[in-house]
Amino acid sequence: MRELVAAASHLDPTLRLALLVGSSALLLSLVSLAYLFALRLMLIRRQRRLRAIARKWRPQLLAVTVGEPFAGPRRVPVGERQEVVHLWNKLQASLRGDVKDRLNSAFRQMSLEADCRRWLRARNPWRRLLAIVALGHLADPGDWPRLRPLLDAPHPYISISALRALMRIAPMRAASDALALLEHRSDWPRGTLLVAFQEAGIDQVTQPLADWLASANDEALIRGMPLLQTGDLTRLETPLLRLLRRERPVDVIAGALKLVESPHALPQIRGLCTHPAWEVRTQAAAALGRMRQAEDRYLLRALLADRNWWVRYRAAEALLRLPDSGAAVVYDEFSRLDDRYARDILRQAAAEQGLPMEALP
Amino acid sequence: MNATVPRPIILVIEDDDHIATVIEFMLQREGLVAERIADGRTAAARIATGPAPALVLMDIMLPYRDGYELVEQLREQPGWERVPVIMLSAKSQEKDIVRALDKGANDHIVKPFQPRELMARIQRLLRSGG
């Protein structure tokens, strides 16, 4: 070694530098490799440990789902609690009906609620999420004050999970609180929000939605419009009709047009067929198709020549949904059209509906 | 169950390992045998080459090949024409179940499911033989 150092000292400085950089890179690579190896070992050990916990507890929990009393140990070792709660949460999410009550009973026998309540304040977000979800399944009204502050949490997944948990405890109250926050929560995943409202059920969410519709600003309305489909639309009709005004934002009008079912809305829908935004005209044509009023034939015929393809397409679909829209009527409509685009779109819509189009010019 | 009588085999085609485990456990408790497959490609090969099971329990959304394709395939496979098929679908896919029934499925169960309802439907179809 000494000879090696002595030989190196006689080397050209550039070569010495290259040797130093090369040795350092080699050393760094070896350290990184050792680190990766250690991480891999830790992962394997962790997976092995989780599998062992699942092997131990899953049969006990599964037995509960087929109606057997919980026969597992009443005390879950500290190191196994997180994984047991995870397994229990997954079972709760997969099943419905009275089996959920039996699973709740098993959870209480294992005295895991206290851990979950403590984990709500944990630094580890995964542990917090597990606790929020578990307490939601338990649906104990006493946990509302612990979970409600988490609805305002900056992390979207913590906050939306808290909403789902709260929806299970007091759905009407939770729906009202969520709708009030909607304006500021553009980070909430829309799909999860919709599922939370769907799970709560139509009876629970309709009143909060009606109250919100009556007072929400346009920004909140745009964000929350898809939630309206989870409510009873006949009870939401009056506030929905108030949204069908030309001065409202395009997304609000178009969103409301997607939902209206009542013939009371017909005068407003017809008026919106000439709205400058194609999104509104498209949804107005689709709404007229749902209403199926024969007198709208002329209005829809005019929309067949619209400059936007989607408006023309929805108008053609709507026209074919009107009463007495058999092949003979379609041929008659077709013969009245001068516009090439109108004829093309009617031909396409009729073909999609299986009407024989061979006779058309 | 009598040891000389072979236990009916239920082919469980489900990519969610957790749900498949739950179903397998329930089937075993009912004296049935679960044969698990986790993706559409393996399921297609099993249908093409293996013997017909007593019943097929299948998710609609599967990797590689979906439940619709598999129902179509198994109805064309000699020996599988009358095998009862129950589709598993998420709540959001409820409207798609009509398509699965059109393709030849016998029944469907919405996830999350009720264990007792699932077992009752399986037993009914096993009794009727499809």
Question: Has residue A249 got a pLDDT over 60?
Answer: yes
pLDDT band of B1, cuts 50, 70, 90: very low
Q: Is the pLDDT of residue A289 over 70?
A: yes
Angle between helices A340-352 and A309-321 in degrees, nearest 10: 50
Q: What is the mean pLDDT of residues A240-252?
A: 90
CA A271 to chain centre: 33
Whether pTM > 0.90 for this model: the answer is: no
Band (pLDDT 50/70/90 cuts) for residue A144 is very high
Question: Hey, are the CB atoms on B115 and A95 less than 8 Å from each other?
Answer: yes
- Flag if B22 and A94 touch (Cβ within 8 Å): yes
User: Is B76's pLDDT higher than 90?
Assistant: yes
Task: State which residue of chain B sits closest to A89, comparing Cα positions.
Answer: B18
Question: What three-state secondary structure class fits A146?
Answer: helix
Average pLDDT in the B86-104 region? 80
CB contact (8 A) between residue B18 and residue A96: no
Residue A318: count other Cβ atoms within 10 Å of its Cβ: 26
Comparing A76 with B4, which gets the higher pLDDT?
Answer: A76
Confidence of residue B92 (pLDDT cuts 50, 70, 90): low
What mean pLDDT do residues B95-119 have? Answer: 87
- Beta-bridge partners for B55: B10
Question: Which of A59, A91, A99 is nearest residue B114 as measured by Cβ atoms?
Answer: A99
**Are B22 and A97 within 8 A, CB to CB?**
no
In this predicted structure, the answer to whether residue A349 has a pLDDT above a threshold of 90 is no
Closest Cα in chain A, distance from residue B22 (Å):
7
Whether residues A94 and B111 touch (CB distance < 8 A) is answered with: yes
What was the pLDDT predicted at B71?
94
**pLDDT exceeds cutoff 60 at B3:** no
**Taking the CB of residue A91, how many other CB atoms lie within 10 A of it?**
24
To the nearest whole number, what is the mean pLDDT of chain A? Answer: 89
Tens-digit pLDDT profile for residues A35-63 = 999 999 999 999 998 888 888 889 889 99
Residue A5 is predicted with a pLDDT of 65
Q: Using CA atoms, how far apart are residues A132 and A321, in angstroms rounded to an integer?
A: 48
Residues of A at the B interface, defined by Cβ within 8 angstroms = 58-59, 62, 65-66, 90-91, 93-97, 99, 198
Are the CB atoms for A103 and A61 separated by under 8 Å? yes
- Which residues face A238 on adjacent strands? none
Q: CB of A203 within 8 A of CB of A173?
A: no
Tell me which H or E stretch contains B13: strand B9-13
CA dihedral A248, A302, A261, A220 (to 10 degrees): -20
pLDDT band at A318; cut points 50, 70, 90: very high
Which among A94, A133, A193, A197 is the top mutation candidate for probing chain B, defined by the most B β-carbons within 10 Å of its own β-carbon?
Answer: A94
The pLDDT assigned to A311 comes to 94
What would the two tokens of residue A334 be? 């077709």
| pLDDT category of residue A223 using cuts at 50, 70 and 90 | confident
**What are the backbone angles phi and psi of residue B33, rounded to the nearest 5°?**
-110, 130
Tell me the pLDDT band of B91, cut-offs 50, 70 and 90.
Answer: low
Element spanning A348, H or E: helix A340-352
